[in-house]
């Protein structure tokens, strides 16, 4: 428990990914197998049963510390975190810090206490444990008891740490820790160390990624050698069916199979040895829903029925890299498309779609296809050479992405804040506003888009023209106008203006414009109406 509490504290103290990986790997190497297993269980969101309702826990802690319950609650409102509050109000005496129990022993104690019928018996046991732990151990213990331990470690990071500690390939670890397993019934050896015959069945292919279109002449001169597709604005993903198991990988190389139950039927309908490349999209009435809605699905571990019906997800397939157990990445794209089309047609499901392929004879036709993007919810076109293989990583030449021109508005700089990392010490985080009648209302924050010279010039100007400082934020005289480019606009209840811009960045410093010439909120609301992304 001491070591795990130490790990918890140190993870809390760093934002650096490499340090986190090292800390977890170190812990896993020195902990006993039972603790290793439980640490992995906790990192993947598994938890022991909750001992008691938090109201009871507050009463027990109050009695243990000799304080009235109201004072514990007042303190909790200031501290903000209940586990932390209860850990902090119990006095640390020389009696504390004598508990030598390890993580898994502590969890087994929690299970025993949870199963007790009598609340006063539970209280007696919990109080005894509190008194035997140091403050930072109590914090972890409380969070374990309340089922609220959050470690801020992503699955990808945990996988890297386990890989670092035991030299097992990352995709194998991902698969093992993602599946259904229970720390109460399995062992660390079974879960992580024992090689299985199906270890490699989850292994994805590296994604082939396109560059933004640079030069259209080659394409114009040989249109028949190119296929055109819509560029979908979802989550790039790979679907693998091997040996009757299904795996869905996102581009972040995270195994996300559990999050998309509407695709689990593919396990039974795709033939063994199939790997598809495509896009996960939130989809309703033959159209993608906004990326904002899809994002609601990304973060959720528990999927409610209402969420699933509100935001159903489909897979828009546009390539196939493995077929009948063979790697077919070197076959020309046109052949792969044929196989894919045949497969998607035979599956015949509204949850597996074939991304339409278009051929153009004239450049005007290409431009026509591009004009369709706004209406069908895609974000532009993909241009792919008909005979291209499926390459590895980001490569130029065979595939290009051609996004729609961004929207632009002219907005006024009103707040500035210090930047981070490379830009620390310079005021580089800007907030921009547009007019709402006679008031400037903030609509976007933007960090990038200016040259270093412009940043330095603006930094100096801001320092001279600061009106007020609120903590790290400075308000400045409304004077400078900037053209902001953005990808879309959405209704927002979180922003005072009622709208949120998607991926805003500075495209130009409009020194030629005065603040009165900036856009209005009405302009933005009109745009919201026409693009219809609500």
Residues that bind other proteins (CB under 8 A): 12-14, 65, 67-68, 71-72, 74-75, 78-81, 84-85, 88-89, 91-92, 135, 418, 424-426, 472
For other proteins, the closer of residues 84 and 254 by Cβ is: 84
Q: How far is the CB of 418 from other proteins (least distance, A)?
A: 5
- Tokens of residue 377, six digits: 């919810």
Helix (H) or strand (E) holding 296: helix 291-299
Cα torsion 225, 377, 304, 502: sign: positive
Closest approach of other proteins to the CB of residue 159, in Å: 25
Run of H or E including 203: none
- Quote the least distance from Cβ 150 to other proteins, whole Å: 12
Residue 130 C-beta: closest distance to other proteins, Å: 14
Is the Cβ of residue 94 or residue 493 nearer to other proteins in the bound state?
94
Least separation in angstroms between CB 85 and other proteins:
6
CA angle 234, 292, 148 (to 5 degrees): 105
- Which of 82, 266 has the CB closer to other proteins? 82
What phi, psi does 54 have (nearest 5°)? -65, -25
Q: What angle do CA 375, 385, 487 make, to 5 degrees?
A: 30
CA dihedral angle for residue 24, residue 30, residue 36, residue 38, rounded to 10 degrees = -80
Nearest distance in Å: CB 76, other proteins: 9
Q: Check residue 191 and report its DSSP letter.
A: I
Q: Give every CB contact of residue 113 below 8 A, 6+ residues apart in sequence.
A: 51, 122, 125, 126
Q: How far is the CB of 59 from other proteins (least distance, A)?
A: 15
Nearer to other proteins, 347 or 426 (CB): 426
Q: Show the tokens assigned to 40.
A: 């992995």
CA neighbor of 331 nearest in space, from 387, 404, 247: 387
Q: What is the DSSP string of 420-486?
A: -GGGBTSEEEEEEEEEETTEEEEEEEE-----HHHHHHHHHHHHHSEEEEETTEEEE-S--EEEEEE
Alpha-carbon dihedral angle through residues 95, 97, 99, 104, given to the nearest 10 degrees: 150
Cβ(139)–Cβ(2) below 8 Å: no
Give the C-alpha separation, 82 to 152, whole Å.
18
Our CB check for other proteins shows the closer of 127 and 533 to be 127
Residue 12 or 119: the one with the smaller Cβ distance to other proteins is 12
| Minimum CB–partner distance for residue 421 and other proteins (Å) | 12
Spatial CA neighbour of 381 closest among 397, 359, 362, 350: 359
Give min distance, CB of 92 to other proteins, in A: 7
β strands within 9-81, DSSP E: none
CB 192 within 8 A of CB 169: no
Is the Cβ of residue 54 or residue 241 nearer to other proteins in the bound state?
A: 54
Instruction: Tell me the two tokens of residue 110.
Output: 């929690």
Least distance from other proteins to the Cβ atom of residue 424, Å: 7
Nearer to other proteins, 89 or 446 (CB): 89
Write out the H or E segment, with its range, that includes residue 315: strand 313-323
Pick the closer one to other proteins by CB: 16 or 516: 16
Record the tokens describing residue 383, joined without a space: 């241009």
In the complex, minimum distance from the CB of residue 176 to other proteins, in angstroms, rounded to a whole number: 32
The residue among 89 and 373 lying less far from other proteins, judged by its C-beta, is 89
Tokens of residue 297, six digits: 């699905």
CB of 405 vs other proteins, minimal distance in Å: 37
∠ CA 117-122-127 to the nearest 5 degrees?
A: 175
SS3 at position 214: coil
48 or 83: CB nearest other proteins:
83
Q: Closest Cα to residue 205, out of 373, 121, 329, 33? A: 329
Residue 149 corresponds to which tokens in the numbers above?
């331990």
Nearer to other proteins, 11 or 382 (CB): 11
């Amino acid at each position: 428990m001491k070591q795990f509490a130490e790990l918890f504290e140190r993870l809390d103290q760093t934002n650096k990914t490499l340090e986190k990986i090292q800390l977890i790997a170190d812990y896993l190497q020195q902990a006993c197998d039972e603790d290793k297993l439980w640490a992995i269980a906790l990192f993947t969101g598994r938890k022991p049963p909750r001992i008691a309702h938090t109201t009871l826990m507050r009463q027990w802690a109050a009695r243990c510390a000799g304080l009235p319950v109201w004072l514990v609650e007042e303190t909790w409102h200031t501290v903000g975190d209940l586990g932390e509050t209860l850990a902090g109000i119990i006095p640390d005496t020389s009696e504390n810090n004598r508990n030598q129990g390890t993580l898994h022993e502590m969890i087994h104690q929690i299970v025993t206490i949870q199963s007790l019928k009598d609340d006063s018996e539970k209280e007696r046991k919990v109080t005894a444990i509190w008194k035997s732990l140091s403050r930072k151990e109590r914090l972890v213990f409380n969070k374990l008891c309340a089922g609220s331990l959050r470690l801020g470690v992503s699955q990808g990071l945990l996988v890297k740490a386990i890989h670092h500690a035991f030299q097992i390939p990352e995709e194998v670890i991902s698969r093992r820790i993602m599946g259904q397993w229970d720390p109460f019934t399995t062992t660390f050896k079974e879960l992580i160390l024992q090689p299985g015959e199906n270890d490699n069945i989850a292994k994805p292919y590296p994604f082939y990624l396109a560059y933004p279109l640079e030069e259209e002449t080659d394409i114009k001169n040989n249109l028949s050698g190119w296929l055109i597709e819509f560029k979908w604005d979802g989550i790039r993903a790979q679907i693998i069916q091997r040996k009757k198991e299904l795996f869905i990988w996102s581009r972040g190389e995270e195994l996300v199979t559990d999050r998309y139950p509407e695709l689990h039927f593919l396990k039974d309908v795709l033939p063994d040895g199939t790997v598809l490349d495509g896009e996960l999209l939130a989809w309703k009435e033959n159209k993608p829903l906004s990326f904002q809605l899809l994002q609601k699905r990304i973060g959720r571990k528990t999927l409610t029925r209402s969420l699933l019906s509100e935001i159903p997800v489909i897979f828009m397939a546009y390539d196939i890299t493995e077929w009948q157990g063979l790697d077919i990445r070197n076959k020309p794209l046109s052949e792969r498309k044929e196989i894919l089309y045949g497969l998607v047609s035979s599956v015949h499901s509204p949850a597996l779609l074939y991304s339409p392929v278009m051929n153009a004879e004239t450049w005007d036709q290409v431009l026509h296809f591009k004009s369709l993007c706004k209406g069908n919810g895609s974000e532009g076109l993909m241009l792919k050479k008909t005979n291209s293989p499926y390459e590895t990583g980001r490569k130029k030449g065979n595939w290009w992405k051609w996004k729609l021109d961004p929207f632009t508005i002219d907005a006024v700089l009103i707040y500035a804040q210090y930047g981070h990392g490379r830009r620390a010490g310079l005021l580089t985080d800007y907030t921009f506003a547009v007019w709402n009648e006679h008031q400037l209302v903030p609509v976007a924050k933007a960090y990038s888009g200016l040259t270093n010279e412009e940043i330095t010039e603006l930094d100096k100007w801001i320092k001279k023209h600061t009106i007020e400082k609120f903590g790290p934020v400075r308000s400045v005289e409304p004077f400078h106008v900037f053209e902001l480019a953005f990808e879309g606009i959405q209704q927002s209840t979180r922003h005072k203006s009622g709208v949120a811009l998607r991926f805003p960045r500075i495209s130009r410093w409009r020194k030629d414009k005065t603040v009165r010439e900036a856009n209005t909120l009405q302009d933005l609301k009109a745009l919201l109406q026409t693009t219809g992304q609500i």
